[in-house]
Chains A and B, each alone.
Chain A
Amino acid sequence: MNRSLQSSGGYTDPVAFELLADGLLRIDPSVDRTSLYLRAETSDFLRFNRAALRQATSVQQAHVTLAVERGQRRAESTLTLGGEPALDMERLRAECELLVSQLDLISDDPWLSYPKAATHSRRDDGGALPEAAHVIALVHELAGVKLELDLVGFYAGGPVVHAFADSLGSRHWHRVESFHFDWCLYHRADKAVKTSYAGTHWDDAAFAGKLEEAARRMPLLTREVRTLQAGAYRAAFSPSAMVELLGTLGWSGFSLKSRRTGVSSLMRLERGEAAFDAGFNLDEAVALGTAPAFTAEGFVRPDRIALVDAGKLPQSGGTLNSPRSAAEYGVAANGVGAPESPEALRLGPGSIAQADLLSTLDIGLYVSNLWYLNYSDRQACRMTGMTRFACFWVEDGKLVAPVNVMRFDDDVLRLFGSGLVGLTDVPEFTPSSDTYGGRQLGSITTPAAVVEGFKLTL
């Protein structure tokens, strides 16, 4: 076989990965296990400003992490794959030899843990995606010519693959062919309506419908802007705003290592000093998301891990336990990767009908989007961040006036504990739009929320 794989779909094709795995992962008596973890994508990236194209980029990339393990020692190396199978195989074999030689240079790692038996899984979510040229033309015609909108946005589409194979015979294949297009329609300065259209099957009419619906919301932004004073406000968070809050909670909050070293943002929950509202139920629900059901080391992920149960920690502890932390702290691993960060968070529904969100808020702040969240006191679960885009002052359950951006600084355990008025009844699935290094497959599913006493500071 000497043809270029890139011209035949590259490593987003399972045959290509199988060839690599079968050729490389032979039984080697000098190691206990050799493994390959592949991340590949063929992506179109289109960025628009003022409904015109700023950059159009096609990216074909494949990275494979090659690892060797012997006893309590492991060495690993990540390489870009070129697409010439013979050349890729030659480079991987040379790298493998080097890694095996490194095992003699390092010491035993008592917390190293890796699978001892073969496992298998396969998921292939096929799609029907548009050509990049079609999206460029559609945005130009609809947003630029027909609606004359100041659209700034980003389209990313194409197949993303994560695959794993090892010398024990494990084979995992996870391919998602999808697109994600999110954009802002700007009124002026920092006032905009943000919308997204994501999925596996593109539909011109659905895209046009979302664009036109967003355009219809623009006149609200032309109303006189209100500036709020610092203080505590009754507030409604859209699912987009909730994604930011829950995503930040996932930054160390559920990590076993962070809990055991005392740096988790949920230490007060762990110590029983605080609790979420009894209607607050949080899971890591891989089966309902788009993330792979296996880790880079080849561990299989369970469908669901309970993180918060009726406002408190579940019997299991509500932590994400990587194999390494599990070994170090003497608990069972639960199939998460080394960062111990959630990839498929799901907040359960409440009882507020979606259509009643604003009437339940009655008077207060509707937060469409939040931005740049961080901890101002991590151990106290105190977060800060900014409101962004189309946030409104609400009276009598109706949007009255856009508000200028405000900084909040608040205790999230209190906000979703004693401060929680309720959650809406239909959680919304939000796929990750992150593209650092490559397109990410995480997601957060969450309802909207109404809270009391949301603290604005500046």
Chain B
Amino acid sequence: MLDTLEQHARRAAGRLPATAHHWSVRGVREYSEQLSVRQDVAEAPQRAHENGAMVTVIDGGLGYAATSDLSESGLAAAFERAHVLARASAGRTVIDYEQIARPAASGRYANLVERPASSATLPEKLGWLRDVCAAAGGDTRIVDRHATLWHVKTEQLQFTSDGARTEQHWEFMTPSVQVTAHANGVTQVRSSAGQYNGYCQQGGIEVLERARFRESEGPRVAREALQLITATACPSGTFDLILMPDQMMLQIHESIGHPIELDRILGDERNFAGTSFVTLDMFGHYQYGSELLNVSFDPGREHEFAGFAFDDDGTPAERALLIERGLLKRPLGGSLSQARAQAQGFEVGGVATTRSSSWNRAPIDRMSNLNVEPGDSSLEQMISGTERGVVMHTNCSWSIDDSRNKFQFGCEYARMVRGGRLAEVVRNPNYRGISATFWRSLAMVGNSETVEVMGTPFCGKGEPSQVIRVGHASPACKFSNVDVFGGAL
């Protein structure tokens, strides 16, 4: 349907009054397929097709109207609704939208796909899931096994009254296997990369190979679930903490990504997702972490989940360091938020990361690919340099305050470190801290061999709410003197 969108929309836009200052249309077509095998039983395949467009009109104020009716009359109705909202908001908006400079870039982007999901048949894909699910069994203490595959193919076309035109194509793949084991009153859940799909990447079937999904994930997850049910509880106390990439992604997400979103800092999210301990005057001055901390916005990173060439304002996206040698340099904020900060007297810069979850939501500042840059320590060096510590893997619980400061996170799996050597497995590991001080305790950063490219399909924010894809690539990292504790059982 995107093939006729531009023609219909340009004709519909012709009906706007001459006072209309600017308009744009962003059409989205998305196909997804979710497959699931639980306890060796294939559940009903679920397909979904999304088709719709968001119309934006600036005339005094700003109005958005989303419609799934992509006919000329449907788009004309959307232009009319957006225009009514634009006029109604004139003089009552947070900034004069007519004065904001708009990008006029044009271009095309498509992520690398070696083997499209469509090159495999439905029985083939279900067969893979059966194999992975079966490979996670074979022990009576395993009480639940579940293997899933989620494929999404998205096309987005955006064009404006200024002549800008961007076209972007993506394919995403998210495999997952999860096992529940039980013995002697203890139940534990272990997953391949988090119960909320931490191993998600752009690409096709080749993503399954990078994840070692069919090769070894079923037996590995089952083995570790069985280790957990006989493990002792994680001890409480102050320990050095080594976080593996599948927990680092959550740590980055909650205590760096969200706090430096510029719209939060400007107060837009205070009624829902929260505010931030970061303020506009901190950029360029604030020591966010130790000198080992380098954090990048990297929309061009190969395979990573939230790569793109243009954000949903149409701004070309380029890699930038947001934190360099621990110093906070720039926020996650698109062109509009940057202009709003400037209007308050702060030249904080930003990056092209204004995004929407789909055709039916207006874009806001989001995380995209937000990564911790690798250091020079091997995992062996991090462990051997730890006298009394814990290595934690895979997030399963997350909670952080309104200002993104006081956090408490839990993991699925951990191993103690004693005298520089890996020791026993422990269950229900948790740790807590304060963002403003935690990153300053970063003591070692893993080298590129410890890096995993991960992410989440489920970052929530905004009013109306939007769930969006985010990528996080990170090495393993070591933090000193962290408050660690176990569960109640």
Q: Which of B141-198 contact A (CB under 8 A)?
A: 143-144, 180, 182, 187, 189
Q: Is B131 an interface residue (CB 8 A)?
A: no
A54 touches B268 (CB 8 A): yes
B residues contacting A by CB (< 8 A) are: 1, 41-52, 61-71, 73-74, 77-78, 81-82, 84-89, 92-94, 121-123, 126, 143-144, 180, 182, 187, 189, 266-268, 270-272, 274-275, 360-362, 364, 397-403, 406, 408, 410, 428, 430, 432, 434, 460, 463-467, 487-489
A251 to chain B, nearest CB (A): 11
B49 pairs with A457, CB closer than 8 A: no
Chain A: minimal CB distance from B265 (Å) = 12
Instruction: Find out whether the CB atom of B67 lies under 8 angstroms from the CB atom of A386.
Output: no
Chain A residues with Cβ below 8 Å from B122 are 102, 105-106
Cross-chain contact of B270 among A109, A137, A184, A262 (Cβ < 8 A)? A184
Q: Contact between B399 and A435 (Cβ–Cβ < 8 Å)?
A: no
Task: List A residues 58-93 near B (Cβ within 8 Å).
Answer: 58-62, 67, 73-84
The number of A-B residue pairs with CB atoms under 8 Å apart is 270
Task: Among A4, A10, A55, A73, point to the contact of B62 (Cβ < 8 A).
Answer: A55
- Of the listed stretches A20-28, A220-228, A405-413, chain B binds A405-413
**A5: chain B residues within 8 A (beta carbon):** 69
- Tell whether A77 pairs with B47 under 8 Å between CB atoms, given A56-B62, A83-B69, A83-B74: yes
Sample of 19 A–B contacts (CB below 8 Å): A57-B65, A58-B82, A60-B78, A61-B52, A82-B70, A132-B88, A153-B271, A262-B143, A372-B399, A372-B402, A374-B410, A376-B430, A377-B410, A380-B487, A384-B397, A384-B408, A388-B402, A407-B432, A457-B432
Q: Are A190 and B61 in contact (CB under 8 A)?
A: no
Determine chain B's interface SS by DSSP, over half rule.
Answer: mixed
Q: Is the pair A78, B398 in contact by a Cβ cutoff of 8 Å?
A: no
Identify which of A43-51, A208-216, A281-289, A415-423 touches chain B.
Answer: A43-51
Q: What is the total number of residues of chain A having a CB less than 8 Å from a CB of chain B?
A: 93
B464→A156 contact, CB < 8 A: yes
Q: What 3 pairs between A and B have smallest CB-CB spacing?
A: A377-B487, A133-B88, A83-B69
A263 on interface, CB distance cutoff 8 Å:
yes
Q: Are A49 and B68 in touch, CB under 8 angstroms?
A: no
CA distance A109 to B65 in the complex (A): 42
Residues from 298 to 352 in A contacting B, C-beta threshold 8 Å: none
A7-B398 Cα distance, complex, nearest whole Å: 44
* Inter-chain pairs besides A49-B267, A79-B48, 15 sampled, C-beta below 8 Å: A4-B73, A50-B267, A57-B65, A58-B66, A58-B85, A78-B49, A83-B74, A105-B122, A132-B88, A371-B401, A372-B400, A374-B399, A384-B399, A407-B399, A457-B408
Q: Are A54 and B93 in contact (CB under 8 A)?
A: yes
Nearest chain B CB to A425 CB, angstrom units: 30
Tell me if A6 and B93 are in contact (CB < 8 A): no
Chain A: which residue is nearest B87 at the CB level? A133
| Candidates B50, B66, B401; contact of A57 at CB < 8 Å | B66
The answer on a CB contact under 8 Å between B61 and A78 is no
Q: Does A398 contact B (CB under 8 A)?
A: no
B53 → chain A closest CB, angstroms: 11
Query: How far apart are B109's CB and chain A's nearest CB, in angstroms?
Result: 24
Q: In the complex, are the beta carbons of B71 and A102 less than 8 A apart?
A: no
Chain B residues whose C-beta falls within 8 Å of the C-beta of A263 in the assembled complex: 144, 180, 187, 189
The digit string for A164-197, where 1 denotes a CB below 8 A from any CB of B, is 0000000000000000001110100110101000
Contacts of B401 in A (CB 8 A): 190, 371-372, 386, 388, 405, 407
B74→A458 contact, CB < 8 A: no
Say yes or no for A111: interface residue by CB 8 A criterion: yes
Q: Is B47's CB under 8 angstroms from A78's CB? A: yes
- The verdict on A373 contacting chain B, using a C-beta distance below 8 Å, is yes
The chain A residue sitting closest to B81, CB to CB, is A58
Cα A274 to Cα B47 with chains together (Å):
43
Contacts of A62 in B (CB 8 A): 68
**Is A447 interfacial (CB-CB < 8 Å)?**
no
Which B residue sits closest to A5, measured CB to CB?
Answer: B69
The answer on a CB contact under 8 Å between A407 and B406 is yes
Can you name the residue of chain B whose Cβ is closest to the Cβ of A257?
B144
Q: Are B88 and A56 in contact (CB under 8 A)?
A: yes
Give Cα A60–Cα B126 distance, bound, in whole angstroms: 35
* Chain B residues whose CB sits within 8 angstroms of the CB of A30 once the complex forms: none
Bound together, the chains give a CA A56 to CA B55 distance in angstroms of 12
A56 close to B85 (CB less than 8 A) = yes
In the assembled complex, how far is the CB of residue B124 from the closest CB belonging to chain A, in whole angstroms?
10
Contact B66 A371 (CB under 8 A): no
- Distance in angstroms between the alpha carbons of A152 and B397 in the assembled complex: 29
B42 adjacent to A109 (CB under 8 Å): yes
With A56-B62, A379-B489 as given contacts, are A192 and B270 in contact (CB-CB < 8 Å)? yes
Cβ of B416 to closest chain A Cβ, rounded Å: 18
A53 touches B52 (CB 8 A): no
Chain A residues with CB below 8 A from B361, complex form? 57
Task: Tell me if A229 is interfacial: C-beta within 8 Å of chain B.
Answer: no
A76 to B36, CA, bound (A): 13
Interface residues of A in 346-386 (CB under 8 A from B): 371-380, 382, 384-386
- Report A-chain residues with C-beta under 8 Å of the C-beta of B88: 56, 132-133, 136-137
Cα of A7 to Cα of B82 in the assembled complex, Å? 15
Q: Is the CB of B44 within 8 A of A60?
A: no
What chain B residues lie within 8 Å of A47 (beta carbons)? Answer: 268, 463
A382: chain B residues at CB < 8 Å are 487-488
Return the chain B residue nearest A153 by Cβ: B271
Does A82 lie within 8 Å of B68, measured CB to CB?
yes
Q: Are A76 and B47 in contact (CB under 8 A)?
A: yes
The answer to whether A80 and B68 touch across the interface, beta carbons within 8 angstroms, is yes
Residues of chain A with a CB closer than 8 A to B434's CB: 458
Contact A105 B399 (CB under 8 A): no
Quick check: B143 and A261 within 8 Å, CB to CB? Answer: yes
Report the bound CA distance from A95 to B121 in whole Å.
Answer: 17
A225–B66 Cα distance when bound, in Å, is: 44
Task: List the B side residues contacting A110 at CB < 8 Å.
Answer: 41
Contact present for B45 and A102 (CB under 8 Å)? yes
B488 lies within 8 A of A377 (CB): yes
Q: How close is B461's CB to chain A, nearest CB, in angstroms?
A: 10
Are B408's CB and A376's CB within 8 A?
yes
Q: Which residues of A contact B467 (CB under 8 A)?
A: 436-437
Please measure, in the bound complex, the distance between the C-alpha atom of A18 and the C-alpha atom of B489, giving whole angstroms.
Answer: 54
A439 to B361, CA, bound (A): 12
**A2 CB to nearest B CB, Å:** 11
Chain A: which residue is nearest B93 at the CB level? A53
| Min distance, Cβ A7 to any Cβ of chain B, angstroms | 6
Residue of B nearest to A375 (CB): B397
CB-nearest residue of chain B to A437 = B467
